[in-house]
C-alpha cells in the first residue's frame, strides 16, 4: 500500500510543479521543431505526440515544424539518386525536389499527424505551399576558391530561404482547435517549390506569431561550454559573446543563430532541448529543471 501511496504522491508532486507553468502558458503559442533521434525512435515519437496533445488539452497552442533529412536520403538512395552537399546543404535539382516533397509533405508529415491524432489530438498536416504560408526565395552559396580572386557563387537548386510568412492559415487552424504540423517547403514567386531548413522555418514562424516559446529538438544535451558543461540559462548578449569567442561553432551555430534571432525579434524564449530524453518537451515546459539550453532577451 505504501508503494502505491508513494507513487500517487509523486504524481501529485509533478502535477503541482506543473500547475504554475500551465497557468502561465495557457493561451500562448509554442512552436516546436521536431527532428533528430526523437523523430526516428518509435518510443520517443510516441512520447512526443503525447506531450504535444497534452499541451493542447491544457489550453496551450502548439505548432509543430518537422525536418526529414535522413528519410529523404534513404529514399534517394533507394531510387539510385546520388546526394551532393555544399556547405552542409543538399543540392536539390528538380528530380531531388520531387523526392523532398514526397517525403516531407507526404510520408513524414502524415506519420506525425497520425501519431498526434492517435493520441487524442486534432492535427492537420500542411506544407509551406498551402495557403501561401511560406513564400520562399532561392538560396545561393558562395565559396572562396584558392584559384579564384573572387568568391564562387554556387547554384544548389531548389534550396530556399524564407522571404515572407502568411500566418492566416495557421490562425484559422489554431482558432479551430487544430494542431498544425508543417513541412518546411516554401513556394517561390514563380510557383516553384523550395526545400528550407526546418530550424529556420520554425524560427520565422515563431517570430511572426510572437510565440511564447521556440523549442528546437536536437541530438545533444544542449549548448555546451568549452569544458563540456551544458549552459542552461543564457541571455542574448551572452550568446553573442559565445559566438564571438568560438564556443559556438560548426553545426550548432545555425541552430543557435536561429534561436537567438527569434528572441531578438520578440519571441519570449528559445530552447535548445535534448530530443533523446523521454518527454523532453513536457520536461522543458512544465518542470523547474528542464532538459536543455534556455535563451531569453537581455531584459
CATH number, domain of 222, equals 3.40.1160.10
Residue 48 pLDDT more than 90?
yes
Amino acid 146: pLDDT: 57
Is residue 1 domain-resident?
no
**24 by DSSP, 3-state: which?**
helix
> Residue 237 — very low, low, confident or very high, per pLDDT cuts 50/70/90?
confident
Cell numbers placing 112 = 506525425
Residue 3 is assigned to a structural domain of this protein: no
Q: Distance between terminal CA atoms of the chain?
A: 50
In contact, 189 and 182? CB cutoff 8 Å:
no
Report pLDDT digits (tens) over 84-96. 887 777 889 899 9
Inside any domain, residue 209: yes
Report in angstroms the alpha-carbon separations of 245 from 18, 232, 237, 249: 37, 18, 13, 9
- Check residue 267 and report its DSSP letter: -
Percent of the chain with pLDDT over 70: 94
The closest alpha carbon to 183, from 34, 81, 37, 73, belongs to 34
Q: Which domain holds residue 279?
A: 27-296
Least confident interval from 12-21, 252-261, 288-297: 288-297
Q: Is residue 116 part of a domain?
A: yes
Name the nearest CA neighbour of 248 among 287, 222, 278: 222
**Residue 273: other Cβ atoms inside 10 A:** 26
Higher pLDDT: 201 or 2? It is 201
Determine the Cα–Cα distance for residues 16 and 20; give it in Å rounded to an integer. Answer: 8
For residue 214, give every residue at least 6 positions away whose Cβ sits within 8 Å of its Cβ, in sequence order, or none: 31, 33, 202, 203, 206, 259, 262, 263, 267, 269, 270, 271
Give CA–CA dist 33/182, Å, rounded. Answer: 9
**Residue 261 and residue 270: Cα distance in Å, rounded?**
9
Q: Collapse the DSSP code of 108 into the 3-class scheme (helix H, G, I; strand E, B; otherwise coil) and give the result.
A: helix
Residue 15, domain member (yes or no): no
Structure-model confidence comparison of residues 5 and 24, the more confident one: 24
Query: What band does 17 get if pLDDT is binned at 50, 70 and 90?
Result: confident
Pairwise pLDDT comparison (145 vs 133), residue with the higher score: 133
In a domain, residue 18? The reply is no
Number of domains comprising the chain: 1
Amino acid at each position: 500500500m505504501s508503494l502505491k501511496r508513494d507513487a500517487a504522491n509523486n504524481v501529485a508532486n509533478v502535477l503541482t510543479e506543473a500547475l504554475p507553468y500551465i497557468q502561465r502558458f495557457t493561451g500562448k503559442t509554442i512552436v516546436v521543431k521536431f527532428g533528430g533521434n526523437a523523430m526516428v525512435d518509435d518510443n520517443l515519437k510516441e512520447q512526443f505526440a503525447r506531450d504535444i496533445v497534452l499541451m493542447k488539452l491544457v489550453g496551450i497552442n502548439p505548432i509543430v515544424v518537422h525536418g526529414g533529412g535522413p528519410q529523404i536520403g534513404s529514399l534517394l538512395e533507394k531510387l539510385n539518386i546520388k546526394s551532393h552537399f555544399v556547405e552542409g546543404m543538399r543540392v536539390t535539382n528538380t528530380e531531388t525536389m520531387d523526392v523532398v516533397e514526397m517525403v516531407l509533405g507526404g510520408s513524414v508529415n502524415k506519420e506525425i499527424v497520425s501519431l498526434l491524432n492517435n493520441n487524442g489530438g486534432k492535427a492537420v498536416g500542411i506544407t509551406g505551399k498551402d495557403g501561401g504560408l511560406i513564400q520562399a526565395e532561392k538560396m545561393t552559396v558562395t565559396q572562396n576558391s584558392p584559384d579564384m580572386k573572387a568568391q564562387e557563387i554556387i547554384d544548389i537548386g531548389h534550396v530556399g530561404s524564407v522571404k515572407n510568412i502568411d500566418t492566416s492559415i495557421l490562425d484559422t487552424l489554431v482558432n479551430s482547435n487544430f494542431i498544425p504540423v508543417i513541412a518546411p517547403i516554401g513556394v517561390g514567386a514563380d510557383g516553384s517549390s523550395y526545400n528550407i531548413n526546418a530550424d529556420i522555418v520554425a524560427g520565422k514562424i515563431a517570430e511572426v506569431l510572437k510565440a511564447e516559446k521556440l523549442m528546437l529538438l536536437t541530438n545533444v544535451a544542449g549548448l555546451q561550454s568549452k569544458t563540456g558543461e551544458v549552459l542552461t540559462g543564457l541571455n542574448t548578449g551572452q550568446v553573442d559573446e559565445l559566438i564571438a569567442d568560438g564556443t559556438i561553432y560548426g553545426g550548432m551555430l545555425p541552430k543557435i543563430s536561429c534561436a537567438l534571432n527569434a528572441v531578438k525579434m520578440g519571441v519570449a524564449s528559445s530552447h535548445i532541448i535534448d530530443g533523446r530524453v523521454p518527454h523532453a518537451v513536457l520536461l522543458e515546459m512544465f518542470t523547474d529543471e528542464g532538459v536543455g539550453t534556455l535563451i531569453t532577451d537581455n531584459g
